Amino acid sequence: MHWKNRDQSLSWCAGSILAISALSASANAEVILNAPSEFGATSVTVDVTNGLEFLDLGPTAVLSVSYDDMTTTYLAAGGTYEGWRYASYTEILSLFESAGVTVESNYLFPASTAIALSESLGITFSKGADIYRANGFFHSEVEGFASTFAFGASLNHDTDEYYATYEGWTYLSSDNSAPAGHYLVRAVPAPGSLAIAGVFGMLCTHRRR
């Protein structure tokens, strides 16, 4: 039993060192796709340039909650996403620019980079005008007729064309259950990463004795 525990702790230590090394190696990147957080191994997209973490859209999309419910319940103290907040239009735009995506008029390019970033953020579908669009809330003013900024992306599978744009959307109360993800953001918890590294080092040292 002693050797089994020792082997497990050494494996844990080695795995942790590899993970920390991987994060260090990507520290010079402008944007880190599919990064880990408490919500999963690939649950956030990190804008290194601006020091922000963006939560994937998927987890909030399946909740089917409105802006008001997200603000008063999920983002509140003790809520599932305490410590997160709604991203601003400027922060989303900066994320795409940090990733090397050029924004001109209603188009984002190169398409391959925009698609990779969208896939990391997560795509939530809402059908409108006979096409599928990926929608995400930025902010809202009131429940009911809520004028919202959203990042919309449509993909035509027949012609393999990709089109993405920032648009104004209008959501009715009846649309609150639509599968639209909420763009949530927080500052990168860098000090926590260093603390975790220190804990791993202490555990490895303790286990060897």
Domain parsing of the chain, residue ranges: 2-208
Q: What is the chain's mean pLDDT, rounded?
A: 61
Q: What is the pLDDT of residue 131?
A: 37
Among 85-99, 101-115, 188-202, name the one with the lowest average pLDDT: 188-202
Beta strands 181-182; 136-137: pairing state: parallel
Helix (H, G, I), strand (E, B) or coil at 28: coil
Q: Flag whether pLDDT at 87 surpasses 50.
A: yes
Q: Is the pLDDT of residue 45 over 90?
A: yes
Q: Are 53 and 121 in contact (CB under 8 A)?
A: no
CA separation for the pair 30, 110 (Å, rounded): 16
Rounded distance, CA 139 to CA 141, Å?
7
CA distances from 188 to 4, 34, 83, 105, 156 (A): 36, 14, 11, 30, 35
CA distance 197 to 209: 19
Residue bearing tokens 């603390």: 195
- pLDDT tens digit string along 128-146? 443 334 334 433 333 333 3
Work out the end-to-end distance of the chain between its first and last CA atoms, rounded to an integer number of angstroms: 15
Mean pLDDT for the stretch of residues 48-69: 81
The set of residues, in sequence order, having a beta carbon less than 8 Å from that of 174 and lying 6+ positions away, is none
In this prediction, residues 61-73 reach a mean pLDDT of 74
- At residue 156, the pLDDT reads 37
156 φ, ψ (degrees, to nearest 5): -90, 105
- Confidence tier at 112 by pLDDT (50, 70, 90): confident
| pTM reported for the whole predicted model | 0.59
What gap in Å lies between CA 60 and CA 81, rounded to an integer? 10
Residues belonging to the chain:
209
